[in-house]
Chain A
Amino acid sequence: NAGVTQTPKFRILKIGQSMTLQCAQDMNHNYMYWYRQDPGMGLKLIYYSVGAGITDKGEVPNGYNVSRSTTEDFPLRLELAAPSQTSVYFCASSVGSGGGTDTQYFGPGTRLTVL
């Protein structure tokens, strides 16, 4: 199993450009997540999905969009990139068990710089 994979590893964008961060998992997990990690801070949830075709906002969704057309893939779209979106982005997945005891499995991250 590859686990959770993310592409690209690094990207530099100019202000106003758009891009899609790719995320895939091969563990047949129902739940998937996008987090961002700012320097010296913990991770903040951007969007999440509890299954194919179902997505919802997390704590910091502004400036982002997601889709979940398959169980495996959960791309994150940045429209009109801004310097405030400079961050490290992590995708994660979990089985989706009830009771909040899920272990989340994280990808290696995408480091994005907006200049």
Chain B
Amino acid sequence: GDSVTQMEGPVTLSEEAFLTINCTYTATGYPSLFWYVQYPGEGLQLLLKATKADDKGSNKGFEATYRKETTSFHLEKGSVQVSDSAVYFCALIAMNNNAGNMLTFGGGTRLMVKP
């Protein structure tokens, strides 16, 4: 079945450091790929998405590129801030999904940014 694997955390960085959170997926065809972020005590919110190969999603300084050849969708940010501290989830919607656009999630990566 479809699955998403992302690096385990926590990831601890100093403010202004470069961030990479790795995400790889297994799915047939061309799924849509997403990064969701969960701030402490809140629900998930969409950070960015890409719906076809080589697309780059970007938002709030975060970027991720849909790489079909490596089945990856790594999240990057050039300079993190304390306010970026959160849990980040990589997710996909399968191309021929039979469950109402069900999201398949990775396990989440906790990011802690220190001043």
Which residue numbers of A lie inside 8 Å of B, CB to CB?
Answer: 4, 31, 33, 35, 40-45, 48-50, 56, 58-59, 90, 92, 94, 96, 99-109
Among the interface residues A40, A59, A104, A109, which one has the most CB atoms of the partner chain B within 10 A?
A104
Query: Are the CB atoms of B44 and A90 closer together than 8 Å?
Result: yes
Query: Are the CB atoms of B107 and A48 closer together than 8 Å?
Result: no
A74, chain B: closest CB distance, angstroms: 12
Among the interface residues B49, B93, B100, which one has the most CB atoms of the partner chain A within 10 A?
B100
Query: Are the CB atoms of B4 and A49 closer together than 8 Å?
Result: no
B11 proximal to A (CB < 8 A):
no
Residue of B nearest to A94 (CB): B101
Query: Are the CB atoms of B100 and A56 closer together than 8 Å?
Result: yes
B13 proximal to A (CB < 8 A):
no
Known: A41-B108, A42-B108, A90-B44. A104 touches B103 (CB 8 A): yes
